[in-house]
Structure 1
Amino acid sequence: MPGGWIQRYMKLTEFLGSVLGPDYEVVLHDLGDADKSIIAIANGHVSGRTIGAPLTSVALQSIVNHSYETQDYRLNYVGVAGTKLLRSSTFFVKDEEGRLVGMLCINFDDSRYRELSDRILKLRHPDIFVETNFAYNEEAATVRATPPPAEGSESFPNSLTELTDHLLDEELRSREASGERLGHRDKLALVEILNAKGIFMMKGAVKYVAEKLGCSQTTIYRYLNRMNGGAEGGEG
C-alpha cells in the first residue's frame, strides 16, 4: 500500500465527512509522524482539532499493545472533547504485510439527538416525570456500551504538550502528588506507566516529562534503559 493509500483515504475522509454530516468528525492519521499525525480531518469542530494534531492516548495504546494485529477496527468507545462525550470508532489502516500505517477515526457527537429525544418525551409527559424516569447518565451509559476498559476513554489533544499533560496529570492525581515531589521509585514507576502507554514514541516527550518531573532527560533515558534490560545507575 505504499504511497497510494494516503490519497485514497484522504478522499474517503472528505467523503464520509460530507455524507455523515456535521455531528460526525472523520479523522485520518498517518503514523509516519505520531507528533503531527492528523493529515486530513472533516468536521474538526467536534473535537476542536486541526491538521497537524498528534495521536491520541488510545491510538498510542493500540500501537503499544499491538491490538491492531488481531482486530481490524474498534467500535463505539468513549471519546471526551471538553464537556462532550463522543461515540468513537477507529479503523486500522494496514499495508500488505499487515503493518499499521494509519488510522481512520469517526467521532460522533449525539448530544443534539439526545436533546431532541428529551423534548419529544416532554411533549407526552410532564417535565418532572421525564427527569425522574428518563434521566440520561451519559458516562455510565457510554461506558457500559464500551467493553475495553483497559484502554480507557479517549481525549483529543491538539499538541504533544496537551497529550503529555493529560497522561501525566491522570497518573499524578492518582498519587495525590506533584511531579517534583515524587521520590525516585515513584518517578521510575510513573515513567514505566507512561512508556507502556506509548508516550515516548512522541518526539520531545522525554524532555517534557523530565521538566514535569523535575529531573534531567538523562534520568528519563536511564529509566527507559532499565526497562529495556539495561543497568539503571543513580538518580540524575
Structure 2
Amino acid sequence: MRNLAEEKNFFITMFDMLEAHFGADVELVLHDLTNEYEHSIVDIRNGHITGRKIGDCGDDLGLEVLSGSTDDGNSYNEILRTEDGKILRCSTIFIYGDDGAVIGSICINQDITRTLAMEEYLRAHINKSSTEAKETFTKDVNTLLTNLIEDAHRHVGKEPEDMTKEDKQEFIRYLDERGAFLITKSGTRVCNYLSISKYTLYNYRDIGRELVVQEAD
C-alpha cells in the first residue's frame, strides 16, 4: 500500500464497525500523513469529543513521527485531558507504506469523564465497613445444605477425620448460626459427615448456643 486512498473502502468499513461497536463516547480518527499536515484528518467519528472535523490537523505526536524524532509513535491507553476538561483514554497506531514510510495513523479517544465521576461517586457512597454477604443462591435445599457444609469445612479448615472435639463443636455452631438445621434431615447429613451420633450433634449444638448466649451477656 502506497497511500490510504488505495484502501479507502476498507478504512470506511472498519470505522463504521468501530463506531457502531463503541458508541458515542469514543472518537475515531484517520489521518492521512502523505498530504498537508494542517489538513491530515480524512475521517473522524464522534468529533464532538475533541471538537475536530474532517480537514483539521493532527497532533504533536504525528509531527514527531514524521520528523523522525520518534521511531515508534504507537501509544496505548494514555490518559489525556482536553482544554474543556474532558478526560480521555487514547491509543494511536501508525500506518506504514510498502517503502516503510509513514502514510497515516488511526487514533481512538475514549471519553471516560463520566466513568471516572461514577467511580468517585461509588467510592464515596459505598460503605467500606460492609462485609461480604454469605447468601447462597441454589435451586434445591440439598445443594444449599451441601454449600453450607462446604462453608463450615472451610471455616474450620480441617478434614472431618482430623477434627478435634472442639473443631466439630465449632463446625456445628457455624452451621447452626447459618440456619442449616432448619433444613429437613440436615442432622443426618451432618452426623454422617462428621461421623458422630445424633445425640452428640444435639449436645454440640446446645453447647454452641450456650456460648452464644454467654457472649451476648
TM-score normalised according to structure 2 size: 0.52
Partner of 1:115: 117
Distance of 2:81 and 2:15 partners within structure 1: 21
**Conservation of the 8 A alpha-carbon contact between 1:79 and 1:107:** no
Distance of 1:10 and 1:56 partners within structure 2: 22
- Give the secondary structure class of the aligned counterpart of 2:63: helix
Whether 1:54 and 2:64 are equivalent positions in the alignment is no
TM-score normalised according to structure 1 size: 0.48
Candidates 22, 25, 41, aligned match of 1:20: 22
Q: 1:117-136, aligned counterparts within 5 Å? A: 117-125=119-127
Q: 1:21-40, aligned counterparts within 5 Å? A: 21-31=23-33, 32-40=35-43
Task: Report the Cα offset of residue 43 of structure 1.
Answer: 1.0
**Conservation of the 8 A alpha-carbon contact between 1:10 and 1:28:** no
Task: Report the Cα offset of residue 125 of structure 1.
Answer: 3.6
Deviating runs (4+, > 3 A) in structure 1?
none
CA 1:122–1:77 in structure 2 vs 1: closer, same or farther (change >3 Å)? closer
Structure having the higher Rg:
2
- Give the secondary structure class of the aligned counterpart of 1:67: coil
The CA RMSD over aligned residues, in Å, is 2.0
1:45-98 C-alpha deviation (Å, 9 max, x unpaired): 110111111111121112213535xx4721123433222232211111111222
CA 1:80–1:30 in structure 2 vs 1: closer, same or farther (change >3 Å)? same
Distance of 1:80 and 1:96 partners within structure 2: 35
- Give the secondary structure class of the aligned counterpart of 1:121: helix
Partner of 1:84: 86
**Conservation of the 8 A alpha-carbon contact between 1:14 and 1:41:** no
Task: Report the Cα offset of residue 8 of structure 1.
Answer: 1.6
What letter corresponds to residue 46 of structure 1 in structure 2? I
Q: 1:203-214, aligned counterparts within 5 Å? A: none
Q: Which runs of 5+ in 2 are unaligned?
A: 129-217
- Give the secondary structure class of the aligned counterpart of 1:55: coil
Q: Which runs of 5+ in 1 are unaligned?
A: 127-236
**Conservation of the 8 A alpha-carbon contact between 2:62 and 2:73:** no
Whether 1:41 and 2:58 are equivalent positions in the alignment is no
Instruction: Count residues in correspondence.
Output: 124
- Which structure has the higher relative contact order (CA within 8 Å, separation 6+)? 1
What letter corresponds to residue 79 of structure 1 in structure 2? L
Which range moved further: 57-66 or 83-92? 57-66
Distance of 1:116 and 1:41 partners within structure 2: 28
